[in-house]
Chain A
Amino acid sequence: DSGVTQTPKHLITATGQRVTLRCSPRSGDLSVYWYQQSLDQGLQFLIQYYNGEERAKGNILERFSAQQFPDLHSELNLSSLELGDSALYFCASSVDPGGGTDTQYFGPGTRLTVL
């Protein structure tokens, strides 16, 4: 158990819908990262937050957005869902992303199925 929690574990929804994925980082970690794992794209970085502020953006679609709240939990919002958005979404957290020895610890993931 890494200490990173994600809910829900599974999500099944229809095309065009909107869903919210939730992540709670390890105690003491200030930075949260979102990654998407799909069969065709592999593991791709989506977005990073640090202490409530967006810090870096990766291959995140405009239909997707995220935020980090004052209690440091983060939510990833996916809207106008398409079949191709079906994937495993992982959250990771780390304590000091600017530090030279920072390590990301991953949560169990949310499996999203879009029908």
Chain B
Amino acid sequence: AQSVSQHNHHVILSEAASLELGCNYSYGGTVNLFWYVQYPGQHLQLLLKYFSGDPLVKGIKGFEAEFIKSKFSFNLRKPSVQWSDTAEYFCAVRLDFGNEKLTFGTGTRLTIIP
């Protein structure tokens, strides 16, 4: 069964700092990859997704992620964070075909200090 690891449980940054959140998955086949964000008290919102093609994908709110197949990784990045980025970030994996459920990582809580 596939699994997703997010090693950073809580990250604290100052405004304007650069962000990188790690995501690694374990599955040898083709996968679809997603990052979702959950602002305090709100539902999961899609930040970005990767299906195929260019491994560098851009999402909303200035976020981007890079798929590195050899490292089974899909790290989330943002060059300059804002206070409003304070939220919980979830990486998720879906097998390409035949198993449509999302397997989520444990999440990374991001706190931005003004």
Mark A residues whose CB is within 8 Å of B: 2, 31, 33, 35, 42-45, 48, 55-56, 58, 90, 92, 94, 97-98, 100-109
Please, could you name 30 A-B residue pairs with CB atoms under 8 Å apart, sorted by A?
Answer: A2-B43, A31-B100, A33-B101, A33-B102, A42-B105, A42-B106, A44-B104, A45-B101, A45-B102, A48-B101, A56-B99, A56-B100, A56-B101, A90-B44, A92-B44, A92-B102, A94-B100, A98-B97, A98-B100, A100-B52, A101-B32, A101-B51, A103-B46, A104-B102, A105-B46, A106-B36, A106-B45, A107-B43, A108-B42, A108-B43
For the complex, is B90 an interface residue (Cβ under 8 Å from A)? yes
Q: In the complex, which residues 38-60 of chain B have their Cβ closer than 8 Å to any Cβ of chain A?
A: 42-46, 49, 51-52
Chain B interface main SS type: loop
Taking CB atoms, residues of chain A closer than 8 Å to B42 are 108
Q: Are B49 and A43 in contact (CB under 8 A)?
A: no
Q: Are B90 and A43 in contact (CB under 8 A)?
A: yes
Q: Are A102 and B100 in contact (CB under 8 A)?
A: yes
Taking CB atoms, residues of chain B closer than 8 Å to A56 are 99-101
Q: Are A2 and B100 in contact (CB under 8 A)?
A: no
B residues contacting the other copy or chain, number (CB 8 A): 23
Docked Cα-Cα span, A31 to B101, in Å, equals 11
Q: What is the chain B residue whose CB lies nearest that of A58?
A: B101
For the complex, is B73 an interface residue (Cβ under 8 Å from A)? no
Taking CB atoms, residues of chain B closer than 8 Å to A90 are 43-44
Docked Cα-Cα span, A101 to B49, in Å, equals 9
Taking CB atoms, residues of chain B closer than 8 Å to A97 are 100
Taking CB atoms, residues of chain A closer than 8 Å to B104 are 42-44
